[in-house]
Structure 1
């Protein structure tokens, strides 16, 4: 067996083990999680903040805000997957069983919170807003979800999240303040 065949063999064995564990995770989800109170909690946190935002956002800024929110979603999902894969944290009671992220956090709570902060006092200091957002998510949001047993910080401290959350806010602020886009040609 040459080196390439050996590498292919061990990768395929690893994939088979991962697939078996994912199936076990799906079985656990179906047997214990779906329709449980914490699952419904996640479904509610996935939908209700967006419904509230629909009624209370600045309609004239909708496109700009949604574009910023989408950027926040992408960043949040990527960082959440990396943190999960590197065993820094993991989630229980996922709304969707096969994803390693907590979708209510990544697709709703993070972006909607930032969207509200962006539109509240739009001329206020982005630095102060970033600090507020980072402290809110790192010292209230994360501990709350850990207390609820949805989130487990295995090798992570809430303080580590502060600079990351600030950067996410700064990126959202930057995206929301773009004046124009070049024309498609």
Structure 2
């Protein structure tokens, strides 16, 4: 057996085992999580804040804020998947069973919190806002979801998140201030 054939065999076996575990996860989700109170909370936290934002956003800043918000969504999803896959944390009561992320956090709460901070007092020091965001998300938001038994820390501590959240806010702030787009022709 060649090295390539050995790698293919190991990878196929691993993928087969993962598929069995995903089927078990979906079965648990269908029978116990879907439509449970914590599932409804997740669904509500994913949808309702966006409705409020659409109604009360500063319309002249929508594109700029969404530009920063999409960056936050992407980076949040990527970091969440990496943390889950490396066994640093995991989520129970997922909105969608096969995705190892908590949609309300990654697609709503993180981006909307940053978008809100970007639009409120736009001339305020971004370092202060980044610090406020990092403290709120790392030491209030994460412990709250852990208390609800949704977020389970394995090899992670809340204070590890603070510098990451700080940097995410600063990059989003930078992105939201970009003005150099060429005209479409």
Aligned counterpart, 1:166: 166
Runs of 4+ in 1 over 2 A off after TM superposition: 182-185
Cα distance, 1:86 vs. partner?
0.6
Aligned counterpart, 2:155: 155
Structure 2: stretches of 5+ with no match in the other structure: none
Distance 1:179 1:11 in 2: 46
Aligned counterpart, 1:79: 79
Q: Is 1:2 aligned to residue 13 of structure 2?
A: no
Aligned counterpart, 2:45: 45
Distance 2:184 2:19 in 1: 42
Distance 1:25 1:41 in 2: 20
Aligned counterpart, 2:14: 14
Cα distance, 1:134 vs. partner?
0.4
1:99-138 correspondence to structure 2 within 5 Å: 99-138=99-138
Cα distance, 1:184 vs. partner?
4.7
Distance 1:2 1:55 in 2: 61
Distance 1:12 1:184 in 2: 47
Distance 1:3 1:156 in 2: 36
Cα distance, 1:155 vs. partner?
0.7
Distance 2:12 2:71 in 1: 34
Distance 2:100 2:168 in 1: 20
Distance 1:57 1:172 in 2: 17
Return the TM-score normalized by structure 2.
0.98
Secondary structure, aligned partner of 1:95:
coil
Distance 1:86 1:36 in 2: 27
